[in-house]
């Protein structure tokens, strides 16, 4: 009865069936009470879970950022390693033009001495006969005809040095990389030349490429991929008696396909599927980290909008590994 009175007081007794007994009400209210308590409990739990979820989300975001930073650092350190490998070849390349600039300067210094001697004689009003004799003796005419080629040769050498330095700059600033138009054939040949020069063994190089192929892409990244592929090829041919490295460039299905082929050890067929996994390496500690292909694959597919694949080949008694890098001919048509 008490419950009924309470409901009446609260004005909630309207429309209640007359047979509704107080016992039933007590039970209903008890249940509602339980439900309410449960609801409050659920809400508290929900809030806790929500806070937990938020914490987990923040942690996940931080971990993702850390992973992204690490990946960037890995790319950078692998790039530095590529650069290190190139240095010996670059030093060799620089040596050539620098040494002929030196030789030319040396010759010009000698010429300058003879010129001064001849000019001094003229200023001292020597006789015509003496002047002619001096002219022959000092070989002034020969010097005159030599000066231009010497200067032109030196200019060419200086230009070659500045070109090499310019090409090297593409390795230095990864963040500011922007896609641009460049000659893929020249890049390919340059990379091979520099790395082959730095190798300890003599390697035959065969290029099957057009004269020039201009594409729009990230030159620095493409170069980094090529350095990795060529360096791997050179490593694989270390114990080969007649090492041969071939490159080929072909256009097919609106892509340009760059093939790097060696006649080295080849890749263990059972390991082919893990070739692009991070830290997969068969090289001794200190020689390889197993990141070259992993990073190259990421750069090829994500940055350069292309693909990278590997296989073994067996042809005309030759065998070894063949890597294929594809790049879009038209940047806008490629997925990115």
- Is residue 37 involved in binding ligand ATP (CB under 6 A)? no
For ligand ATP, the binding residue among 197, 288, 307, 313 (CB under 6 A) is 288
Q: Tokens representing 210? A: 């057009």
For ligand ATP, the binding residue among 245, 267, 299, 300 (CB under 6 A) is 267
- Which string of b and e fits 157-181 if b means at least 16 CB within 10 Å? beebbeebeebbebbeeeeeeebee
Of 194, 326, 178, 330, the closest CA to residue 260 belongs to 326
Q: How far is the CB of 295 from ligand ATP (least distance, A)?
A: 8
Residue 315 φ/ψ, nearest 5 degrees: -150, 135
Site for Mg ion in 277-306 (CB under 5 A): 292
- Is residue 283 involved in binding ligand ATP (CB under 6 A)? yes
Question: Of the two residues 90 and 293, which places its CB atom closer to ligand ATP in the complex?
Answer: 293
Binding mask 215-244 for ligand ATP (x = CB under 6 A): -------------x---xx--x--------
Q: How many C-alpha atoms does 223 have within 13 Å on its Cβ side?
A: 30
Whole-angstrom distance, CA of residue 87 vs CA of residue 271: 31
Q: Specify whether the CB–CB gap between 134 and 121 falls below 8 A.
A: yes
For ligand ATP, the binding residue among 25, 257, 280, 331 (CB under 6 A) is 280
For ligand ATP, the binding residue among 222, 227, 256, 293 (CB under 6 A) is 293
H-helix or E-strand containing 219? helix 219-236
Site for Mg ion in 221-250 (CB under 5 A): 232
Q: How far is the CB of 56 from Mg ion (least distance, A)?
A: 37
Q: Tokens representing 166? A: 């310019």
For the residues of 170-193, what is the DSSP string, one character each?
TTT-STT---EEEEHHHHHHHHHH
Q: How far is the CB of 188 from ligand ATP (least distance, A)?
A: 16
Question: Of the two residues 61 and 283, which places its CB atom closer to ligand ATP in the complex?
Answer: 283
Q: Which residues bind ligand ATP (CB under 6 A)?
A: 228, 232-233, 236, 262, 264-267, 275, 280-283, 288-294, 321
């Amino acid at each position: 009865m008490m419950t009924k009175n309470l409901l009446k007081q609260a004005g909630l007794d309207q429309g209640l069936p007359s047979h509704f007994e107080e016992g039933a009400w007590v039970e209903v209210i008890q249940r509602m009470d339980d439900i309410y308590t449960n609801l409050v409990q659920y809400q508290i739990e929900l809030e806790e879970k929500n806070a937990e979820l938020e914490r987990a989300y923040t942690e996940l975001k931080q971990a993702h950022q850390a992973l992204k930073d690490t990946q960037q650092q890995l790319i950078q350190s692998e790039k530095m390693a590529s650069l290190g490998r190139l240095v010996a070849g670059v030093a060799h390349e620089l040596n050539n033009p620098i040494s002929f600039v030196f030789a030319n300067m040396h010759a010009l210094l000698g010429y300058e001495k003879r010129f001064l001697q001849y000019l001094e004689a003229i200023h001292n009003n020597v006789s015509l006969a003496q002047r002619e004799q001096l002219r022959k003796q000092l070989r002034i005419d020969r010097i005159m005809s030599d000066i231009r080629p010497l200067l032109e040769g030196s200019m060419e050498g200086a230009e070659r040095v500045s070109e090499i330095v310019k090409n090297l700059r593409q390795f230095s600033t990864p963040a500011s990389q922007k896609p641009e138009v460049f000659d893929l054939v020249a890049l390919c040949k340059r990379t091979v030349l520099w790395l082959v020069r730095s190798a300890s063994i003599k390697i035959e190089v065969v290029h099957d490429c057009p004269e020039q192929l201009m594409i729009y892409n990230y030159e620095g990244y493409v170069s980094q991929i090529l350095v990795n592929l060529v360096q791997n090829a050179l490593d694989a041919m270390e114990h080969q008696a007649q090492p041969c490295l071939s490159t080929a460039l072909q256009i097919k299905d609106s892509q340009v396909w760059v093939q790097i082929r060696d006649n080295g050890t080849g890749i263990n067929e059972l390991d082919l599927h893990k070739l692009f996994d991070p830290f997969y390496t068969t090289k001794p500690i200190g020689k390889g980290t197993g990141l070259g292909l992993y990073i190259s694959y990421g750069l090829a597919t994500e940055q350069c909008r292309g693909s990278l694949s590997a296989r073994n080949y067996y042809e005309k008694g030759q065998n070894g590994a063949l890597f294929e890098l594809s790049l879009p001919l038209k940047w806008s048509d490629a997925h990115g």
